[in-house]
Amino acid sequence: MTQSKWLFHPILIFIYSILALGLSLFLYIYWYVKVSSGLMELVEKFDLPHDKVLAMETWVVILMLSILVGIILIGIIIIFMYHQKTFQLYRLQNNFINNYTHELKTPVTSIQLYLETFLNHQLSAEDQKKYITFMLMDVSRLSEHINNILNISRFETQNKTHDVEPVDLIQFIEQFISINQHSFTKSLVTFDHQMQSPLMFNMNIALFEMLFRNLIDNAIIYNDSQTAKIIVRLEKRKKKLILSFEDNGIGIEKKYRQKIFRKFFQIGQADDRSAKGSGLGLYMVHSITKMHGGKISIFDHPKHTGSVFQLTFPFYRQEPMEKSDDRSASKKNTGDRR
């Protein structure tokens, strides 16, 4: 940044304004005291009545002036903070656009190459099936990105989710890991618990699947190990359910642990391509947790590098559903996940 631009930086302009206002207040008080001293000398010299010449006490005027200047300062500070938040939001949105454009462009380019291959080459049935499978995977990625964007407005307008049903949480986690293990490349996802099934928990199945996928994807993206290891741990403490996601990734610095749940926030900068992901995953995780009445916290892994995302939900034991209903619900859940 050039020197001329630095002179007009919002922070320096804010400092200039505060200094100018403070100097004006000092000069005014200094002038007022001088004038008051001169008037007092005139009153004493000519023996004039004090109540007519000095109708207002000096320090009362100074106090009122100080209050007014304080109100002006508070207004300037509020305007400055609003400007800084607006600038930060603009930067985060710019990072999001740059990274998400890349996320959307990659599967589109891949699909285009496969279609050009179909157009220009005579492929065997086996190759056709393989390329069609790849294209369907790219379409699925595109659909997931689009759904993420559409879900943002939903999360911002709802504090609680109403489409909930009692689900065996242990069975849900086991099925989720079993069905999706193949999609978590170069990773090992395991489930650890010491409780007996069924453990009925009121939840929105589609939103919980989104929560699990985003947390596991985040653990894989921010991981430099040859094999990303994620342990999903479930335990009960009094009237609370503790759901933890432990990984062996690069960890998260303490200064980012509150910021990463903000919309569009990414660790790294978009201009040097060090930022990863879209900046929406953990925001959605936080929103889904909150919609289910829970809280989310981040800790360092106690034994090695990595992080622990801990989700705490209120828990009230429920009776399991009838077997016939349970079977139908299980079929419904499996169908929804597919």
Q: How far is CA 95 from CA 89, 98, 217, 303, in A?
A: 10, 5, 19, 34
Secondary structure letter of residue 258 according to DSSP: T
β-pairing, 240-247 with 295-300? Answer: unpaired
pLDDT in tens, the chain (338 residues): 455 556 656 677 777 777 777 777 777 777 767 666 666 676 666 665 655 555 545 566 667 677 777 777 777 787 778 777 777 777 766 666 666 676 677 788 888 888 998 888 888 888 888 889 888 888 887 887 777 667 666 666 666 666 788 999 999 999 999 988 877 878 899 999 888 878 899 988 888 988 998 899 888 888 888 889 999 999 988 889 999 999 998 888 888 888 888 777 776 544 444 445 566 788 888 888 988 889 999 988 877 788 999 999 998 766 555 544 444 444 444 334 33
For domain 98-157, give its CATH number from 1.10.287, 1.10.10, 3.30.70, 1.20.120. Answer: 1.10.287
Q: Is the dihedral of CA 113, 118, 121, 126 positive or negative?
A: positive
Q: The domain at 165-337 falls in which architecture?
A: 2-Layer Sandwich (3.30)
Question: Does the global pTM surpass 0.95?
Answer: no
Domain ranges of the chain: 3-90, 98-157, 165-337
Same CATH topology for 98-157 and 165-337: the answer is no
What is the spatial distance between Cα 272 and Cα 46, in angstroms, rounded to a whole number?
A: 78
Q: Give ∠ CA 83-85-86 in degrees, rounded to 5.
A: 65
